Structure 1
Amino acid sequence: MSWGNRVIIILVVFVAGITFMVYLSMRQTNEVVDANYYEREMKYQQVIDGKKNLLALGDSVTIMNDGAVIKVAFPPSTITRLDSGSIQFMKLSNAKDDKFIPMSGNKTALYQIPLSYISKGLYKVRIDWSNQGTPYYHEQSFNIQ
């Protein structure tokens, strides 16, 4: 085989490789985890304060999957007089599956979310609430199988 044929083969393999990489990159989605990230960044001091307040209690929020429902248990002292709050399940692979659950003022330390309401996958769970004017915040990754 002559050196001219080798150069042509190398160029063809290189162009095929680049074409394949362009094809793969065009199939990649570029979704942002949070659509309103700029507004959230401006309010980040509230998140810091909420994390500090929860950490000062020495207790934390627990999220469990018992097969039929997802249980979100709050420290009882943080839910005595709930002003406002929300539980957000943000699916990292598909923003269409994100779920937003407002927390009502019903003083219950255990929220149960039906498993049929949320699709399977890896989520970032963000929980923020305010009890008697004191903000709290908890964030964790949670896998639903």
Structure 2
Amino acid sequence: MKVNWGTAIVIAFAGFIGFIMYFVINMATDDKYDHDLVVEDYYQKELKFQTDIDKEENSKNLKTNISWKKTKDGILVEFPKDLDIKKIKGSVFLYRPSNKTLDFEIPISLSDHNLLIPDNKLLDGRWNINIDWTYNNEAYLYKKAINY
């Protein structure tokens, strides 16, 4: 049987479309490729974006900003030494970009200028740390992408 050019082109297009459809269906049904939005309430967070920028600017205007270091017990967050720890309120949110089920938030409760985020809550890899805190009714925000 002899195949002419028209039939060969139709067979090639059908083969290519089948090839592409296989990958589209494979990506749509495989849980390994299931990626959600970065955050659930994306639009509400976008509306308060300018407030976050103002809070970050307040943090940059401090004499010393928050710093962190990795220890064997976890992540040690150090608040500025010149601030009264009794007046510091807020929360620390750790966001794992690769798996939203690992995200967690802890309230800030200080006995000295350090806050320890325990090692048992953290897996190796990339984390985004957001420390949203207030001091004397002034709001501050510290954001950092870290590798643990």
Bin for the TM-score computed over the shorter chain = 0.7 to 0.9
CA distance in 1, matches of 2:49, 2:9: 58
1:35 aligned onto 2:5 = no
Superposed counterparts of 1:89-100, under 5 Å: 89-100=94-105
RMSD: 2.4
Unaligned 5+ residue runs, structure 1?
A: none
Corresponding letter in the other structure for 1:67: K
**How many angstroms apart in 1 are the aligned matches of 2:107 and 2:25?**
42
CA distance in 1, matches of 2:147, 2:105: 17
Aligned length in residues: 143
SS at match of 2:69: strand
What is the CA-CA distance between 1:80 and the residue it aligns to?
3.5
Conserved 8 A contact 1:79-1:107: no
User: How many angstroms does 1:52 deviate by?
Assistant: 1.4
1:140 aligns with 2:127: no
Tell me the residue number matched to 2:26.
23
Alignment match of 1:73 (pick from 73, 78, 86) = 78
Flag the 1:63–1:33 CA change in 2: closer, same or farther, 3 A. farther
1:1-145 → structure 2 map (5 Å cutoff): 2=3, 3=5, 4-5=7-8, 7-27=10-30, 28-78=33-83, 80-104=85-109, 106=110, 108-144=112-148
Counterpart CA distance in 1 for 2:19 and 2:79 is: 55
Distance 1:42 1:140 in 2: 21
Which structure has more relative contact order (CA 8 Å, sep 6+)? It is 1
Runs of 4+ off more than 4 Å:
none
**Rg (Cα) greater in structure:** 2
Alpha-carbon distance, 1:7 to partner = 4.1
Identify if the C-alpha distance between structure 1 residues 83 and 71 changes in structure 2 by more than 3 Å, giving closer, same or farther: closer
Identity %: 24
Q: Please say if residues 71 and 110 of structure 1, whose CA atoms lie closer than 8 Å, have aligned partners that are also in contact.
A: yes
Cα gap change, 1:14/1:44 in structure 2, threshold over 3 Å: closer, same or farther? closer
Q: TM-score, normalised by structure 2?
A: 0.79
